[in-house]
Structure 1
Amino acid sequence: MKDMIILSSLALMITGCASVNSGLTTFNEGMASLNKTLASGLPANQRRVGSFITQDQEFKIKSNLAVKTDDNSINQAIAEASSVIESFAKAESCINNHLDSSLELYTAPGGKMNTSYAPMMPMRYHDKTKCVSVAKIQGWFMPARNALQFEIVYVSENSGEVQKRGHEVVKQPNGEWLFTPQI
């Protein structure tokens, strides 16, 4: 009888260990996915599980910002603001939910970005696990010496859907260019 109790206890322990082992395996797989995300090199506010910007998509943003206009003032403003515009476009192209706050990092004091208008949100047929691409950055206009307006044209590579977003960056007193809410 005592041997039976010991064998039963041993069987329960082995079953329990197998269950714990299975749980730990699942946990480790989840942590491996998180580590891959963290190692992606993107700032913390741009990291998304399941939604990663590709090198080709990054290249398209950079090449659009390298285009020159006929207006030297606009070219100078683009050159000064290009790093924040690039970071913003990367973040905006990957927003796949209404709760994302990644754009707040690039917003001027007192402003708040509404991610309900993120380009991916109205794209009914786009695979939301993938970022949309920047097809064009165009329509550069300076309503003031410290303000630059433009639009970004986003396209879904898999569905072909297109969305345009108007934006404005304003040069802050410290020289930093920041986004005002969508125009």
Structure 2
Amino acid sequence: MAQPKNLAVLFTTLAALGPALASQAAQSDECLRNYAVKGSALSGKTHTTHGMLEGVAPTDALPRIARFLSLSGFTVLSQNPGAGLIEAAQSAMLAQGKRLPLNVAVTAQGNGSQVNTSFVTSPLMIFSTETLKDHLCKTIAAGAAGDGASPTPTPTAAAMPANPAPPPARPRIQGVAMLSPSQAEQIATALRKGPHPERLSEALPALLPTLAQFVERMACISTFSAVSTLDEFAAAGVSFRTKVIQAPMPKMKYHDSNQCLDVLRVQGWTMPADNALQFEVAYKAADSGEVAKSSHEVVRQPDGSWLFRR
């Protein structure tokens, strides 16, 4: 199982970033201790770690981390300052239609910020775990660095174009309305609010991006046929197109289907098992006042990722 060429270029580039963040990396003992990996070479792996940035506000840490990622071979797909979330993917593989997702969640804690990172690799992908661990910790450390301390590598043409394009906008999906920035922040806030099961506290920061994307899609599906787009988040053996599930918007008679629904709250958090989470979402149409609910279950997979069963 050979290391993919583009991934080798990525990690060669990452290794060259070390001197720029040497001082921050020297203080990353906590991050290294928190590093964990789940899954296997056959199923794919999820790499996670977290660390504290004392005296750094989330609003300062988030753009610094986004800049670091964009300079180290990743494309920032979305950035939500209000929710403290970054969704990124490895650029060279993304150009080939393959997504290696890296998610970052920044939350206020004490007089600073806690940063949680997760990176998912595909089955049969071999690379240096130590290099990846080092990069995740430098990603966290970048949140404390001033803009001048952010690494500026000299990429090869294969690693990054001379004039990188801005992060791509999310593609419009047929039968799915476009979410407004305020609605995205509303959803992220509702997901964070809880109360959450105590057992979920450690996994929640890495899980939040997946939950947010799913709830965003649910709030914006405007036709019954578009429910099948939820299969992007479905566990093995599950298809939303064959399940008895109705997105809330198509059932509303008076709402303008070109607008996503508002999410009033996310509630009823329960964990029937250590690897399963259930919750309920309440929606409201801002124009007509119509309301609806949906119930969901998400299950942790062998590779550490979370996918939906309903």
The TM-score, its normalising length taken from structure 1, stands at 0.70
- Runs (4+) of structure 1 exceeding 6 A deviation are none
Of 158, 166, 169, the residue aligned with 1:41 is: 169
Of 283, 306, 309, the residue aligned with 1:154 is: 283
Q: Tell me the distance in 2 between the aligned counterparts of 1:50 and 1:139.
A: 26
1:113 CA displacement: 1.1
1:40 CA displacement: 7.5
Pick closer, same or farther for the CA change 1:124–1:142 going to 2, 3 Å. same
Identity of matched residues, %: 34
The code of the aligned residue for 1:138 comes to: Q
Of 249, 272, 297, the residue aligned with 1:168 is: 297
The code of the aligned residue for 2:266 comes to: I
Q: Tell me the distance in 2 between the aligned counterparts of 1:49 and 1:152.
A: 20
Whether contact under 8 Å (1:77, 1:148) holds in the other structure is: no
Structure 2 regions of 5+ residues with no counterpart?
A: 1-166
1:151 CA displacement: 0.4
Structure 1 regions of 5+ residues with no counterpart?
A: 1-38
* Bigger fraction of residues in helix: 1
1:47 CA displacement: 3.1
1:76 CA displacement: 3.0
Whether contact under 8 Å (1:68, 1:75) holds in the other structure is: no
Task: Give me the CA root mean square deviation.
Answer: 2.2
Q: Tell me the distance in 2 between the aligned counterparts of 1:168 and 1:50.
A: 22
1:121 CA displacement: 1.3
The TM-score, its normalising length taken from structure 2, stands at 0.42
Of 233, 236, 245, the residue aligned with 1:106 is: 233
Report what 1:140 is aligned to: 269
Are 2:196 and 1:67 equivalent residues in the alignment? no
Of 193, 218, 222, the residue aligned with 1:96 is: 222
Q: Tell me the distance in 2 between the aligned counterparts of 1:131 and 1:68.
A: 23
1:100-148, Cα deviation, whole Å (9 max, x unpaired): 1321100001001148600101111111111111111111000000000
Whether contact under 8 Å (1:170, 1:180) holds in the other structure is: yes
Report what 1:11 is aligned to: none
Q: Tell me the distance in 2 between the aligned counterparts of 1:40 and 1:48.
A: 18
* Bigger fraction of residues in strand: 2
Q: Greater Rg, structure 1 or structure 2?
A: 1
Q: Tell me the distance in 2 between the aligned counterparts of 1:50 and 1:72.
A: 34
Pick closer, same or farther for the CA change 1:87–1:56 going to 2, 3 Å. same
1:136-169, Cα deviation, whole Å (9 max, x unpaired): 1111000000000000111101111111100000
Q: Tell me the distance in 2 between the aligned counterparts of 1:118 and 1:49.
A: 11
Pick closer, same or farther for the CA change 1:77–1:165 going to 2, 3 Å. farther
